[in-house]
Structure 1
Amino acid sequence: MHLIYIDDSGDEELSIFSALTIRADRWNSCLEKIKNFRRNIQTSDGIFIHAEFHAWKFVSGRGKIADNVVSKGRRCQIFKQTLQMVAMLPGARLFNAVFPTKASGHAYEALLEGINRTLQTWDSHAILICDEGKDAIYTRLVRRMQTLKNGAIDRILEDPFFKQSDQSYFIQLSDFCAYALLRREHPIESKTRYGLDQAFNLLEPISEGIIRPDS
């Protein structure tokens, strides 16, 4: 059994989804590693343990994440350290989809189909936990895919569950992964100067690949 945390990132051209997949029997140990990481950066940088990590705000120097100032350069370092931590979560895997912005619905559908195929090879099932915002759209899409004759997503159980991102470390990490992929696909100078165009490479140890329209 797996828990799959999905969030997205994008711009005027690209829609990107990342799905952080956690084995149910390793969930507690993954959460403890995340908490330890947050404690460590609280000690080193004063960052609040429960501060929400929203990727583009985080690396852009926005939002109050500590009583002290955490520079943009340091935030980008922490961003990359966070990805390194994600890549070391026990049993974690990462699925990704990159589509044109106008085809974001197709991106979500292709992501779920890819996840379902892998779950079949793992002989496992999963539930989806997504960031709030498009609840009705994604629920309808999942239900439609579950009722197709060919069982397009027969390994995904129930409707997606939706949580506020500030209430889930795992959704925040999925957001970091999606944003890292966005910056690799569409580098911008203001972030490339801090190496964010290469940050997604830190996730290669857990990556199940990138789904694209021509995949």
Structure 2
Amino acid sequence: MQPELMYLIYIDESGDPGLNNSPTRYFVLSGLVIHETKWRDTLNKLINFRLGIRSTFGLLLKEEIHAGAMLTHPGTLVRIRKNDRLTIIRHLLDEIAAIADFRIVSVKIDKQGKAPPYDVFENAWRVLIQRIENTLNHNNFPGCQAADHGIIFCDETDAAKLRKLYRKMRVFNPIPNDQHHGSGYRQMPLTRIIEDPSVRDSEHSYFIQAADAVAWACYQRYAPSQYVRQKGARNYFNRLDPVLLKVATRRNQLAIVEL
């Protein structure tokens, strides 16, 4: 019998989840998935990456790579040239893409044309959680076995709202039928993703920082800042192609679920 093992799922967001008077048109969630047996080796790779970045650019290991803030509100990182800060982000994306055990799935919501009571936050999280659950159910993560489960770690967010949504999906989770099951809905409560999502401060997690960079790059595909356009960085998300979970959606070549 195969032992039960765990996938660790690190999720971060980019954009604002508000619907009315929001400063952003889009809201993005990106999940970075790694098997527990690969976690230590992957952490070592991220640490070695940070050591190289410290040597080249002077970014301390304790300083956070927060992609959006690094470019617009760098704080003490202003000592590093802006172009070098963008280079750090690009190098991190390339490091993620080179770690074959990672898998990435993203959800993008375009708020244009959506009206209350549409809930941007809830819809994005529900779809991302369901995509990960489906991938576990079909054993489509690298090395996945039927007994494996997943647990979510995310940056600081509306923890109470997320917890309420997740607990509801554990007991009541109607999924529209596909062409093989006819019209209507099927009840498919979550079984493979366990526990409540664990909220972490990204400052203390290289994995959350990596997920942040992924979400930022995904967002820039749809609404690049002036600086990103100027530097030709709009398509940085494409650099992640080797580790995108393309079985998650066939409608988008970059494995982004677009709502």
Which TM bucket (shorter chain)?
over 0.9
| SS of corresponding position for 1:64 | helix
The alignment status of 1:54 with 2:66, answered yes or no, reads: yes
* Partners of 1:61 and 1:75 within 8 A in 2: no
- Work out the CA distance in 2 between the residues paired with 1:63 and 1:151: 46
Partner of 1:158: 195
Aligned equivalent of 1:93: 103
Aligned pairs for 1:20-59 (under 5 A) are 20-59=32-71
Structure 2 residue aligned with 1:191? 228
Structure 2 unaligned residues grouped into runs of 5+: 1-5, 17-23, 112-118, 140-145, 174-186, 246-254
Q: 1:9 aligns with which of 2, 7, 14?
A: 14
Contact 2:65 2:89 (8 Å CA) reproduced: no
Conserved in 2, the CA contact under 8 Å of 1:132 and 1:164? yes
Q: CA deviation at 1:137?
A: 0.7
CA contact (8 A) 2:11 2:30 kept: yes
Match of 1:172 among 182, 206, 209: 209
Corresponding residue number in structure 2 for 1:72: 82
Question: 2: distance between equivalents of 1:18 and 1:63?
Answer: 25
* 1:159-211: CA deviation from partner (whole Å, max 9, x where unpaired): 11111111111111111100101111112322111222011001111112111
Q: TM-score, normalised by structure 2?
A: 0.78
SS at match of 1:195: coil
After the TM superposition, which residues 102-141 of structure 1 pair with which residues of structure 2 at under 5 Å, given as runs?
103-122=120-139, 123=146, 124-141=148-165
Equivalent-residue separation in structure 2 for 1:95 and 1:212 (angstroms)? 11
Q: Distance in 2 between matches of 1:44 and 1:106?
A: 41
Query: Structure 1, residues 97-141: CA drift from partner, whole Å, max 9, x if none?
Result: 001355221011001111111011113310000112311011111
Q: Take 1:51 and 1:161, find their aligned partners in 2: how far apart are those partners?
A: 22
Give the gaps of 5 or more residues in structure 1: none
Query: What is the DSSP-based 3-state SS (H/G/I as helix, E as strand, rest coil) of the residue aligned with 2:80?
Result: coil
In 2, the alpha carbon distance for the partners of 1:192 and 1:153 equals 40
Aligned pair count reads: 211
Structure (1/2) with the larger helix percentage = 1
Aligned to 2:30: 18
State the distance in 2 between where 1:89 and 1:64 align: 30
CA contact (8 A) 2:57 2:84 kept: no
Q: Using the TM superposition, give the Cα deviation of residue 61 of structure 1 relative to its aligned residue in structure 2, in angstroms.
A: 6.0
In 2, distance between residues paired with 1:72 and 1:40? 18
Q: Give percent identity, aligned residues only.
A: 31
1:147 aligns with 2:157: no
TM-score, normalised with respect to structure 1 = 0.93
Q: Report the RMSD for the aligned CA atoms in angstroms.
A: 1.5
Query: Relative to structure 2, which stretch is displaced further, 54-63 or 82-91?
Result: 54-63
Larger radius of gyration: 2
